């Protein structure tokens, strides 16, 4: 009897071991899938940036081509003007002697006709006749081919660079490369202090780490494409307190997404200090930025990026496994109650609506208990009802877990639910407003 019990116990133990190994394999697969998804998203972002840079380069080449074409037409116009000048000179020289010989009376009065012929043969210096404004007339006749006409036809931007402008562009390129060298040097000298979260400033700026979770000092971002430098952010100064709900508004191309990418560590500034949760992101290496994003912040994008072979709960557990310590992670059950998905935890993404999938992505981001949650158009792909629900959940998360939320949106009505509203235009912050009494999502107009 004891032998049978022992054999039975051994079988149960082996089954438990097999189940544990299977769970471990599943966890590794999920982790690998999450890393693959993150890598794919990063590659996509890089591809989009590369495509934008290529498009900018193409436009620059097109502008240069138009400028050269305008310059060629101007040279042709100048050549035609010179030809017209030459013909005018010939016509003047040919006509002037004929006018002098048209006075026969003086020739008859003289007794020596040979001398009359000699006097008629002398030209009256036709150069003095042409000297006036005959040379300028052909240019005025072709006004469209003059410098003013070219600018009117093609635009001021298509005018060829002057030597002074070329010098300015060269100066900008050198300054751009010098800033990159300076950042690399500071990072190398203070890498240990940076990793420990100690304040290492580029320009002697000291952040208020106690009250502010984000501080930016004279942050500039530009992209160097060929010989041209495109300035996206122009000296941004910003302070955001802990636990606030912030909305960044701005039209397309204003620089709001670039600002979000720099604050979240997805991109790096060319100049200035970017302090987030005590770290100066401007000085962190790529590998250290990856660690910062994993341990400190969470992301919610317009696309849900859920793992299709995992349930809603398992997708959230992927975020939980990324937490620095298990004690830091929030409970999955608690999170699913907050996002109102506790009844759909065991469903796969294909069985959920768009709004439900977005809520699961919020739960996944919250599972590792980030200090800051970055949201890039989180309601952009949702209808009004689901969008309001997601916005309400984000506000609940902000209040329940004291999580700082930074949201980028093009919907101006979202400003009424936020604590702070930052308006961005042409790469600069135009205003920072504080709402004393934010509204509820149900109280705002959606359209």
Q: Residue ranges of the domains in the chain?
A: 195-443
CATH 3.40.50.300 applies to domain 195-443: yes
What pLDDT is attached to residue 263?
93
- Give which of 254, 245, 250, 246 is closest to 410, Cα–Cα: 250
- Give which of 366, 173, 368, 339 is closest to 270, Cα–Cα: 173
Taking phi first (over 0 means left), then psi (-120 to 50 degrees means alpha), and beta for anything else, what does residue 383 get? beta
- E strands within 283-401? 297-300, 372-376
What pLDDT is attached to residue 246?
95
The average confidence (pLDDT) of the chain is 77
- 118-146 mean pLDDT: 46
As a whole number of angstroms, the distance between CA 71 and CA 150 comes to 9
What pLDDT is attached to residue 262?
93
- Lowest average pLDDT, out of 86-100, 223-237, 336-350, goes to 86-100
Buried b (16+ CB within 10 A) or exposed e, 27-45: eeebeebbeeebeeeeeee
Q: What is the pTM of this model?
A: 0.55
As a whole number of angstroms, the distance between CA 179 and CA 185 comes to 10
What pLDDT is attached to residue 417?
92
- What's the first-to-final CA gap in the chain, in angstroms? 75
- Give which of 397, 373, 387 is closest to 445, Cα–Cα: 387
Starting at the earlier edge strand, list the strands of the sheet with 279-280: 228-241, 212-225, 271-276, 279-280
What pLDDT is attached to residue 133?
43
**Banded pLDDT at 51 (limits 50, 70, 90):** confident
Q: Which residues lie below 8 Å from residue 333, measured CB to CB, with a gap of 6+?
A: 342
* Choice between 341 and 26, residue whose per-residue pLDDT is larger: 341
- Lowest average pLDDT, out of 113-122, 132-141, 393-402, goes to 132-141
């Amino acid at each position: 009897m004891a032998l049978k019990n022992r054999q039975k116990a051994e079988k149960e133990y082996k089954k438990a071991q097999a189940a544990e190994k299977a769970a471990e394999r599943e966890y590794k697969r999920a982790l690998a899938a999450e890393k693959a998804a993150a890598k794919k998203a990063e590659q996509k972002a890089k591809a989009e940036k590369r495509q934008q840079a290529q498009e900018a380069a193409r436009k620059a080449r097109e502008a240069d081509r138009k400028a050269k074409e305008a310059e060629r037409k101007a040279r042709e116009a100048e050549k035609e003007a010179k030809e017209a000048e030459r013909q005018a000179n010939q016509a003047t020289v040919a006509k002037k002697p004929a006018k002098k010989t048209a006075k026969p009376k003086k020739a008859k009065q003289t007794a020596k006709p040979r001398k009359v012929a000699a006097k008629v043969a002398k030209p009256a210096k036709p150069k003095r006749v042409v000297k006036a404004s005959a040379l300028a007339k052909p240019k005025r006749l072709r006004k469209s081919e003059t410098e003013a006409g070219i600018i009117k036809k093609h635009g001021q931007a298509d005018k060829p660079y002057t030597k002074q402008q070329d010098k300015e562009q060269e100066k900008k390129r050198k300054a751009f490369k010098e800033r990159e060298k300076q950042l690399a040097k500071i990072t190398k000298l203070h890498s240990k202090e940076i990793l420990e979260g100690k304040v290492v400033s580029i320009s002697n700026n000291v952040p208020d780490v106690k009250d502010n979770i984000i501080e930016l000092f004279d942050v500039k971002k530009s992209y160097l494409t060929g010989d041209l430098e495109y300035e996206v952010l122009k000296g941004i100064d910003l302070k955001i307190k802990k636990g606030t709900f912030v909305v960044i508004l701005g039209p397309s191309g204003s620089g709001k997404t670039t600002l979000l990418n720099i604050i979240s560590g997805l991109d790096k500034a060319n100049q200035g200090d970017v302090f987030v949760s005590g770290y100066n992101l401007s000085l962190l290496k790529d590998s250290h930025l990856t660690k910062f994003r994993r341990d400190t912040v969470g992301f919610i994008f317009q696309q849900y990026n859920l793992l299709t072979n995992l349930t809603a709960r398992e997708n959230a557990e992927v975020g939980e496994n990324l937490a620095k310590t298990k004690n830091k992670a929030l409970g999955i059950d608690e999170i699913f109650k907050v996002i109102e998905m506790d009844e759909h935890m065991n469903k796969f993404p294909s069985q959920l609506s768009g709004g439900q999938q977005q809520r699961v992505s919020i739960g996944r981001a919250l599972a590792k208990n980030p200090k800051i949650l970055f949201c890039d158009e989180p309601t952009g792909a949702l209808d009004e009802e689901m969008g309001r629900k997601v916005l309400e959940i984000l506000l609940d998360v902000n209040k329940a877990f004291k999580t700082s939320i930074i949201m980028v949106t093009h919907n101006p009505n979202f400003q009424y639910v936020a604590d702070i509203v930052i308006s961005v235009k042409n790469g600069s912050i135009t205003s920072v407003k504080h709402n004393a009494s934010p509204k509820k999502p149900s109280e705002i107009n959606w359209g």
